[in-house]
């Protein structure tokens, strides 16, 4: 029991001392990261990424959704056996995948 109490006290003291030193180091790292983030070359790249996200990247979800809608419509409109429906859905899904690849490129 005595050893357990000593262990708990030791862990507590280590935690307190470690968090004080750790917080100071964290603040140093944070300041350096903020300096790098504010550099002009970094901000130029951030602007490029934002522009890309607003244009090209937004096209991918729309194309993927349109492809999904086409697959569902194909399955619901196809007459015949379940195998026929699967074959039609597979063909339509392949076409939709090609459309998504084109949009991503």
As a whole number of angstroms, the distance between CA 4 and CA 35 comes to 46
Full pLDDT tens readout for the chain, 105 residues: 667 787 888 888 777 777 766 777 778 888 998 998 899 998 999 898 888 777 776 777 888 888 888 888 888 888 888 888 888 888 888 888 888 888 777
Scored b (16 or more CB within 10 A) or e, 16-39 reads eeeeeeeeeeeeeeeeeeeeeeee
């Amino acid at each position: 029991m005595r050893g357990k109490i000593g262990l708990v006290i030791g862990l507590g003291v280590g935690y307190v001392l470690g968090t004080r030193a750790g917080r100071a180091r964290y603040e140093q790292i944070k300041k350096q990261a903020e300096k790098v983030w504010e550099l002009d070359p970094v901000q130029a790249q951030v602007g490029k990424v934002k522009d890309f996200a607003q244009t090209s990247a937004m096209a991918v979800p729309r194309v993927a959704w349109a492809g999904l809608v086409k697959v569902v419509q194909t399955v619901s409109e196809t007459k015949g056996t379940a195998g026929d429906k699967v074959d039609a859905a597979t063909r339509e899904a392949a076409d939709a995948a090609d459309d998504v690849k084109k949009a991503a490129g």
